[in-house]
Homo-oligomer: A and B are copies of this chain.
């Protein structure tokens, strides 16, 4: 991967085009003309079109993983870990918005290259182990399935690429704080009631309406 000045322009133009039209629907001519060169000239910087995709995507992918790796090595209480993980996730998404959007749309979807799926998996596992830590310490007593809770948080965060706009009215810090408050505390401020009964349905304080089939008896299913 070369280093000269035009290279940054090229990667930025590629990222912008990939985000708007998708990788497959973006032609090298689109990128070249955005920079002001001929499409053949791109091959002094790349060996194939896919090189551009990886160049766009590598930065934020490695950054976001590094952040949670460092966080996992601390001994902060789980609540604080979740708060900081949420913040750094939103921060990386904001600071590298176009790049990160391309990653989530083109890599985290479709492509199954083992290098990237391993990174996704490691990130998920580290975040889940934080949640699990909170469950075991008794702080997250409302969680029944740590993996689902973790995936819910990751979903909220990554979905930012579908609606967040840099320079828009919502600041990243504001968003991450509210996400974190919501994830940790939920919508409802519970009335002090069943303390020693960590019921699965403890979060539902409205008995006004008969619920329609709370939880089906599950069919057994392994793996």
Contacts and interface: CB of A to CB of B under 8 A. Distances in A.
A213 interface: yes
Interface in A171-195: 171, 173-175, 177-179, 181-192, 195
Contacts of A25: 24
A222 to B, nearest CB: 7
A193 to B, nearest CB: 8
B187 A131 contact: yes
Interface string A113-144: 00000000000000000010010000111111
A151 interface: yes
A69 interface: no
B182 A183 contact: yes
A156 B189 CA distance: 21
Given A157-B155, A159-B154, A218-B174, A20 B188 contact: no
A160 B155 contact: yes
A22 B20 contact: no
Interface stretch (A7-15, A39-47, A54-62, A73-81): A73-81
Interface in A22-40: 22, 24-25
A152 B179 CA distance: 7
A112 B134 CA distance: 42
Contacts of A84: 212
A205 B156 CA distance: 22
Interface of A: 20-22, 24-25, 76-77, 79-80, 82-84, 87, 105, 108-110, 131, 134, 139-145, 148-149, 151-160, 162-163, 167-171, 173-175, 177-179, 181-192, 195, 198, 200-206, 208-209, 211-216, 218-219, 221-223
16 contacts: A76-B208, A105-B109, A109-B162, A139-B188, A142-B181, A143-B182, A148-B182, A151-B156, A151-B159, A152-B178, A171-B216, A173-B213, A182-B183, A184-B203, A185-B203, A189-B202
